[in-house]
């Protein structure tokens, strides 16, 4: 009996050691959010942005085709937002001051009924936006919906139960119109990485691999 017990305990100890070793040696699996697109360490082309023609803060027609040859950063906000938008816009203003002149910015409103060109201009002025680089765009509800869909940004219109909401992501776009990075616009650490990536991309000719 004693010999049997010794053998059993020996088997249990060996099994436990095996489990511990397996946990230490086996590589950890990366945890990702379903549906999220991870930003690579080095910018690579993730998807092509659509060709969009909307109205800027001066009431003039503005096409994303005008950004061809430029590196640019895009986000979706609305001026009356009291949640993530103020943080995102503050971060975007910081990016503007810390990147080369060759980097442009595009802020699409998700509330076109309220955000007229005049309101967008006033909003931009409050952020000390350089309107030669930072473009605030509005349009019809259908145009904005198409823009969000084409840029793969989630937007949920307001209804009787929920307020208007949208993704808080910043998109880094290369000089050929491809999104090459996706960042949390409310996370200062990720914004710092975006600044570094945009600066490096612009210095390297603007096109990701």
List the structure tokens of 88: 């995102």
The band of 155, judged by pLDDT with boundaries at 50, 70 and 90, is confident
- 47-203: which CATH architecture? 3-Layer(aba) Sandwich (3.40)
pLDDT per position as a tens digit, 23-64: 322 333 222 233 344 555 667 889 999 999 999 999 999 999
Q: 3-state DSSP call for residue 2?
A: helix
Q: Could you give the CA distance from residue 132 to residue 155 in angstroms, rounded to a whole number?
A: 27
CA of 166: how far to CAs of 106, 157, 160, 189, 201, in Å? 16, 8, 17, 21, 27
How many other CB atoms are found less than 10 A from the CB of residue 133?
A: 16
Q: Is-contact 84 116, C-beta < 8 A? A: no
Domain ranges in the chain?
A: 47-203
φ, ψ (nearest 5 deg) of residue 201:
-65, -45
Percent of the chain with pLDDT over 70: 78
pLDDT per position as a tens digit, 164-176: 777 889 999 999 9
Q: Is-contact 82 176, C-beta < 8 A? A: no
DSSP code string of 124-183: HHHTT--TTTEEEEB--HHHHHHHHHHTT--EE---SSS--EE--EEEEE-TTSEEEEEE
């Amino acid at each position: 009996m004693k010999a049997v017990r010794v053998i059993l305990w020996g088997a249990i100890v060996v099994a436990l050691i095996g489990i511990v070793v397996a946990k230490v040696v086996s590589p950890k699996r990366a945890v990702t959010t379903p549906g999220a697109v991870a930003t690579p360490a080095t910018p690579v082309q993730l998807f092509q942005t659509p060709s969009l023609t909307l109205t800027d803060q001066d009431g003039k027609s503005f096409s994303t085709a005008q950004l061809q040859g430029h590196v640019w950063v895009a986000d979706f906000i609305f001026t009356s937002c009291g949640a993530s938008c103020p943080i995102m816009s503050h971060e975007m203003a910081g990016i503007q001051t810390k990147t080369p002149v060759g980097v442009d910015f595009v802020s699409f409103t998700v509330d076109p009924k309220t955000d007229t060109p005049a309101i967008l201009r006033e909003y931009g002025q409050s952020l000390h936006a350089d309107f030669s680089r930072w473009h605030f765009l509005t349009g019809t509800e259908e145009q904005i919906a198409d823009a969000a869909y084409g840029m793969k940004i989630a937007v949920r219109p307001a209804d009787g139960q929920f307020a208007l909401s949208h993704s808080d992501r910043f998109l880094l776009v290369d000089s050929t119109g491809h999104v090459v990075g996706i960042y949390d616009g409310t996370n200062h650490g990720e914004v710092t990485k975006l600044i570094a990536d945009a600066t490096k991309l612009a210095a390297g000719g603007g096109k990701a691999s």
